[in-house]
Amino acid sequence: MIKVGIVGGTGYTGVELLRLLAVHPDVELTAITSRKEDGLPVADMFPSLRGRVNLAFSAPDKADLTQCDVVFFATPHGVAMAQAPALLAAGVKVIDLAADFRLKDRASFEKWYKIEHTAPELIEEAVYGLPELNREEIRGARLIANPGCYPTTMQLGFVPLLKAGLVDAGNLIADAKSGVSGAGRKAEIGTLFSESSDNFKAYGVAGHRHTPETSAQLQRFTDDKVGLIFTPHLVPMIRGMHATLYARLTKDVTDAELQALFEDAYKDSPFVDVMPFGSHPETRSTRGSNMLRLAVHRPDGGNTVVLLVVQDNLVKGASGQAVQCMNLMFGFEETTGLQQIALLP
């Protein structure tokens, strides 16, 4: 049994961590911080956790996080880098769901996130927490940079093709859609019901901060320079993410070989479901679960591969992936506490 703390337990990724960890057999929830909600029982804010989480929120200065074995940061960018050094020095492992340690290039981080990085000495040590690609590194890590939700879909789609040298790395295209919960649990005009319901729009077309994160990670798997065009969209649903990925083939390969490539790549990955060739995965098939589903297409038998990738942006795209990393870091079965079946209808 390990002791777990959560910094920032009132947002969507925070409550998702609570939902998953409350039923994890090897976890004791020890501290949940919120400066604004200090003293409020967690179940009063989130009635879904009544009878499961008996803790109250505590102000950060009242929570002794050094007594924890691992601390999750479900906080805005910049919080983890301020607190992680002291926790690591005390022997506590850290999993950051924000972007503080995702980019190895400090200048790139400061450009895209508009804040100074205050713990540059930890950037190189941090392990990028995508288990399907970095499983062994995660096992030995003490600091995890949890991937962004969009980057998870793009990497798990493109990497097998890049590793096999089958596509033009300089011309990758990702057209991705996310539910409104991806914007976080805060009041903003653009995510109000009357603004986002019955509506569909793109954003960040000129440049999005998940592009450098994804490009840097994809570059690890090819000697050719990666060129990625990524366009995110907001769709009127609460949870869910759908990425349609395009890559141009540079070698002769059959449909069966393409399918086998993905099946082999993820045969030991319990949370990646490679569907039959030509399938159309739906976001609702992953709702509330840690499963990512993908399908391979090749329109008209031509030289373009189209990948359809779906996941729950709050689970595999955030908190579930973080728990998956925790399981690896502490020697638990990777699937422990994460075997929920998607909710249908």
What stretch of H or E contains 230? strand 228-234
What stretch of H or E contains 72? strand 70-73
SS3 23: coil
Q: Which residues pair with 176 in a beta bridge?
A: 232, 243
Identity of the amino acid at 336: T
Task: Output the six-digit token pair for 176.
Answer: 């991705």
68 catalytic, yes or no? no
Identity of the amino acid at 114: K
Q: Are strands 292-297 and 304-311 parallel, antiparallel or unpaired?
A: antiparallel
Which is the catalytic residue, given 122, 126, 149, 314? 149
Distance between the two ends of the chain, CA-based, in angstroms? 35
Task: Output the six-digit token pair for 107.
Answer: 């200048």
Query: Using the 8-state DSSP alphabet, how is residue 186 labeled?
Result: S
Rounded-to-integer distance, Cα 14 and Cα 159, Å = 29
Residues taking part in catalysis: 149
